[in-house]
Amino acid sequence: METKHIVVLGAGFGGLTFCQAFNHPQARVTLVDRQNHHLFQPLLYQVATAGLSAPEIAQPVRSILSDRPSVTVLLDTVVDFNLAEKKVFLEKNTLAYDYLVLALGGVTSYFGHPEWEQFAPGLKSLDDALRIRRRILLAFEKAENETDAAARDRLMTIVVVGGGPTGVELAGAFAELVRRVLRKDFRRIDPAQARVILIEAGPRVLAHLPPGLSASAQRQLEKLGVEVRVGVKVKTITQGRVEPENGRIIEAENIIWAAGVSASALTQKLRTELDHAGRVKVKPDLSLPGHPEVFAIGDMALVLDQDGKPVPGVSPAAMQMARKIARIIRDELDLGAGHAARPPFKYWDKGTMATIGRSAAVAKIGKLEFTGFLAWIAWLFVHLIFLIGFRNKLAVLLQWTYSYLAYKRGARIVTGLSEAARSKN
């Protein structure tokens, strides 16, 4: 039998898990990503809030897969597809495939207002996180230098738009950063006077959790000093200003957008049916209609679970999908395509959690609900277990222990000042 070529696009949780789960003597795999690293996205907010350094939540893809000689890693960017001819066009290469795994993930979505991005950056990549960290830390440096009281207040205000898990985690971590960590570092300003405002359009934060947990999360946020404003819809965002549809304009040097995610724009080049967020509507076996050799998984796929509800865009779901198609492809290589109907994907919900701050979190595991310290310990434990790479686990554990004991943050380093200055000119 000739060797089959499987092309995997994206080295996030989905693509990487596929490469780790799949192995077949008659197949070779090519994994393509724009970046040289796999990013542990659930901890990205800690890089943005100066709790962790970038390499601690990222691992070189090549290094993770160095013990898989059948996998070739390419640093390249996807440009277009020709599904009829089974080809993918990259910036530097063209790849012909027998099976194609689409795992390109999601991008920040501004709900039809792409012009807001420049004023309210989202958080999807390490570069995003480092940029946000730089802007927040520099705002306090500017405030220390500012004599005008109103300008100083604006510099010391952070708005987070969106009360989902990312928004809640960011708001909590910013509040801890400014109120506790930076407290003693300045002479002219008092960072404890800084404001962190969380805006959510819906009636409660963490809408995917039961109402009791949402209420608990809001209480825990407020205890940390976050101003939580629910039912506030954003009308427009300009430089340093958020204007809600209802309520007063907020002036804030830093506005972070955590309100929406849509699928990678590349899904539009697939000529297949998409939902409103640009996600590919896949069949129950995760393949594209009319293309049993093409699969879409993770944040770029709309997958319905047993009850007809969309599977949430979380990493455990992407990993389950990756293992599922690894099994499907392996079986077909062993027994021939069409040997049997492919079984549908079933999502196993292991639970949901969100962390808010030091000893503050909410978690739902099965029918059990936890809040506060217990939920926080569960969150720590789960994230350490799943953080890829032994070294990173140790380094992150060390950082967290240190932060917990010393109320400091290790990664409060601004880099890229010269590059930022250059790109302004």
> Judged by CB under 8 A, does residue 393 bind a second copy?
no
> Residue from 55, 247, 260, 351 that binds a second copy (CB under 8 A)?
55
By beta-carbon proximity to a second copy, the closer residue of 65 and 362 is 65
> Residue from 43, 130, 354, 363 that binds a second copy (CB under 8 A)?
130
> Residue from 58, 178, 189, 362 that binds a second copy (CB under 8 A)?
58
> Residue from 87, 310, 395, 400 that binds a second copy (CB under 8 A)?
395
> Residue from 96, 249, 374, 406 that binds a second copy (CB under 8 A)?
406
> Residue from 187, 248, 276, 367 that binds a second copy (CB under 8 A)?
187
As measured in angstroms, the least distance from the Cβ of 158 to a second copy is 18
By beta-carbon proximity to a second copy, the closer residue of 36 and 236 is 36
> Residue from 3, 23, 26, 66 that binds a second copy (CB under 8 A)?
66
Residue type, 425: N
By beta-carbon proximity to a second copy, the closer residue of 266 and 361 is 266
Rule CB under 8 A: which of 239-278 touch a second copy? none
Cα(299)–Cα(286) distance, integer angstroms: 12
**Which of these is catalytic: 169, 200, 253, 332?**
169
> Judged by CB under 8 A, does residue 192 bind a second copy?
no
> Residue from 56, 176, 200, 253 that binds a second copy (CB under 8 A)?
56
> Residue from 89, 111, 186, 381 that binds a second copy (CB under 8 A)?
186
2 is catalytic: no
Answer whether 252's CB lies under 8 Å from 242's CB.
Answer: yes
Rule CB under 8 A: which of 74-103 touch a second copy? 74-76, 92-93
> Judged by CB under 8 A, does residue 408 bind a second copy?
yes
Q: Is the dihedral of CA 393, 395, 398, 400 positive or negative?
A: negative
By beta-carbon proximity to a second copy, the closer residue of 5 and 62 is 62
As measured in angstroms, the least distance from the Cβ of 244 to a second copy is 31
Residues 134-153: x/- map of binding to a second copy (CB under 8 A)? Answer: ---xx--x--xx--------
Q: Which stretch binds a second copy (CB under 8 A): 97-105, 120-128, 159-167, 250-258?
A: 120-128
Using H for helix, E for strand and C for coil, what is the string for the chain?
CCCEEEEEECCCHHHHHHHHHCCCCCEEEEEEECCCEEECHHHHHHHHCCCCCHHHHEEEHHHHCCCCCCEEEEECCEEEEECCCCEEEECCCEEECCEEEECCCEEECCCCCHHHCCCCCCCCCHHHHHHHHHHHHHHHHHHHCCCCHHHHHHHCEEEEECCCHHHHHHHHHHHHHHHHHCCCCCCCCCHHHCEEEEEECCCCCCCCCCHHHHHHHHHHHHHCCEEEEECCCEEEEECCEEEECCCCCEECCEEEECCCEEECHHHHHCCCCECCCCCEECCCCCEECCEEEEEECHHHEECECCCCCECCCCHHHHHHHHHHHHHHHHHHHHHCCCCCCCCCCCCCCCCEEEEEECCEEEEEECCEEEEHHHHHHHHHHHHHHHCCCHHHHHHHHHHHHHHHHHCCCCCCCCCCHHHHHHHHC
By beta-carbon proximity to a second copy, the closer residue of 92 and 276 is 92
Spatial CB neighbours of 76, under 8 Å, sequence gap ≥ 6:
32, 33, 34, 90, 91, 92, 93
Residues 24-53: x/- map of binding to a second copy (CB under 8 A)? Answer: ----------xxxx---------------x
Q: Which residues contact a second copy by CB under 8 A?
A: 34-37, 53-56, 58, 60, 62-63, 66-67, 69, 72-76, 92-93, 125-127, 130, 137-138, 141, 144-145, 182, 184-188, 391-392, 394-395, 398-399, 402, 406, 408, 410-419, 422-423
Active site residue ranges: 169
